[in-house]
Each structure stands twice: as structure tokens, then as C-alpha cells.
Amino acid sequence: MSRSAERHELSELFRYHAWANDRTLAAFEGLGAELDEPAPGTMGTIRKTLGHLTLVEEGFLLGIEGRSLEVLGDRERYVERDPAWYRERLAEVGRRYRQFLESADEAGLERELRLSWLPFGISVRQVLRQVLVHSAHHRSQVLSWLGARGRTAPDLDYVLMLAEERGG
């Protein structure tokens, strides 16, 4: 696969990723205290897991952009927000990832980042893969919680995104 094709594939994966994040977060809007109940198999609670997912996506993006994590504010406060706030943040973060991918060249994808929370250097390309896999992991946790409570979890199949776009 050419580097141009790879960049296009990454961009398409991030387009799907933003859609899947949006559908996931929408499923939790309107829930109250149950978001803060212990949720085995998550980061402790659903709210903290959604916050962690969002914080990590935004943190890695800031690393790619060469910006300080200080713009995120207090980490404890960040992971105590409402699903609607995370949904908005993830939509914005998703747009910024796709904008980056539209202009990234090979050197930009191979650039090594030194991130304060990792004891080793990591390429931007590896960061992008990590973001996709990490968030999919946490989406599966929170959606399993919904199903275990008898609620309907959204279907996140790629073809459903395509069908929605095509009016089907």
C-alpha cells in the first residue's frame, strides 16, 4: 500500500471512529447517578471511563500538535463531566485528527513524540493506531455495561455509517 493510500485509510478509520464515538456517547446522554455507580470491567464508573477515553484522545492529539496538556485543565475535573460534554469534545477532537491527516506527509507520520506519560518515544503513526484501539476498547466496556443493564447498545458497524450517509 502506498503511503498516500495508507494516509487515506487512516483518515477513513478516523471518520468512522468519530461516528462510533458519537453514537456511543449519545447512548449515555440523559443518564444520571447510574453513571457514577461502580461498573466492573471499566475504569471504575461509566463517567470516568467516558472521561478517560476522551482525555486520552485529546491528550494524544495535543502531543501531535505540539501543545501542552495544561490546556486540558485539572484531570480529575475532566473525568467528571457529562456525556454530552464528552460528545462535543470528541466531535471536535475527531475533526482535528482528520484535519491533521489531510495535510500529514510521511515525515509527519514518522515523527517521534516524547510524551510525558510514556517512558519511550512513539511515532505519530503509532499514536494514531493507539487512539483507535484504545477508544474501541473503552467503547466496548461501556456498551457492554449498557447491555448488562438491559438497555440497547448502539450498533457500530461501519456499513451502518455508510448506510446513514447514503440515506439507507
Domain holding 8: CATH number? 1.20.120.450
What is the domain count for the chain? 1
Q: Encode pLDDT of 35-60 as tens digits.
A: 999 999 999 999 999 999 999 999 99
Residue 123: CB partners within 8 Å, gap ≥ 6? Answer: 109, 110, 111, 112, 113
pTM for this one?
A: 0.94
* Parent domain of 67: 3-165
- What per-residue confidence (pLDDT) applies to 17? 98
